[in-house]
Amino acid sequence: MENKKTLIIVSILLVAFIGGASLLYAKLGTDMKPDNLLIQNNGGSTTTDTTTVTPEVSANDTADNSDKTPVTPGNSSETDDSSSESNGTASGNSTEGNATAGTSPFMAPDFTVYDREGNTVRLSDFLGKPVVLNFWASWCGPCKSEMPDFEEIYKEYGEDIHFVMVNLTDGDRETMDTATTFLDSSGYTFPVYYDKDIDAAYTYQVYGIPVTYFINAEGHLIAQGSSALDAETIKRGIEMILK
């Protein structure tokens, strides 16, 4: 467990540094700004709205997630054989034989995090409404740069969508105290959950933050955004999961 935490932390620090440099570069030339929204289509391949990008990680690109339970509507602990087989692969095998156009074949893997009171919360607890899943830390500059947009969009869509803002609470560089102090001082009101066991980060192979996943009400991964997202991109992802 300690080796796993160390690897994730070191990787995140490196990518956060690179991400900060990328943000500075983008500010020097807005015409070179990339479109970071990657879409999962129903054939198993990945495309983007405008510009092709390569995601930093994918929850379905590693065999390490093969023992994770996909989120299943109405039942977070049981899945059929086809869902279990497709989770952990990017081969294009659909979890549903009759997947509708524009729907991802991949079910979002489940995980356990904690709320402010220390109660356990699972991703599957939020099924029934679309989910915006974001990974962040208070020491991450790019994470903080997108939070004002997330706050405003949460106020706009919070009744229709679950916002699951997962803090990478490793207990070393980030603790619940440092995270909550940052949130309170900034006045953010979106829901935050603490990944104290690094279960969510490991499940989604998060080696760079921020990263955001857009999940529809049925638990399908629809789109992913790597690095800081602007309001327009976040809303575009939300429109996909509200369809």
Q: How confident is the model over 193-214, as pLDDT tens digits?
A: 999 999 999 999 999 999 999 9
Token duo for residue 185: 């001082």
Q: How confident is the model at residue 129 (pLDDT cuts 50, 70, 90)?
A: very high
Residue 87 is part of which domain span? 2-242
Question: What's the CATH code of the domain at 15?
Answer: 3.40.30.10
pTM of the predicted protein model = 0.66
pLDDT of residue 171 exceeding 50, the answer is yes
> Taking Cα atoms as reference points, which of 24, 49, 21 lies closest to residue 35?
49
Closest CA to 124 of 188, 65, 79: 79
Average pLDDT, whole number, for the chain?
Answer: 72
Q: Are 168 and 198 in contact (CB under 8 A)?
A: yes
Average pLDDT over residues 32-58: 41
What pairing do the DSSP bridges indicate for beta strands 192-194 and 120-122? unpaired
Q: Confirm if 145 and 217 have CB atoms less than 8 A apart.
A: no
Q: Which carries the bigger pLDDT value, residue 223 or residue 91?
A: 223
Is the peptide bond preceding residue 105 cis, with omega within 30 degrees of 0?
no
What pLDDT digit, counting tens, does each position of 61-117 carry? 333 433 454 544 333 333 233 333 333 322 222 223 223 334 446 899 999 999 999
Please give the order of strands across the beta sheet that includes 131-136. Answer: 46-48, 37-40, 221-226, 211-215, 131-136, 162-167, 192-194, 112-114, 120-122
DSSP 158: T
Q: Are 71 and 108 in contact (CB under 8 A)?
A: yes
Structural domains counted in the chain? 1
pLDDT band at 11 (very low <50, low <70, confident <90, very high): low
Residue 30 is encoded by which pair of tokens? 């807005």
Cβ distance 205 to 58 under 8 Å?
yes
Residue 176: pLDDT above 80?
A: yes
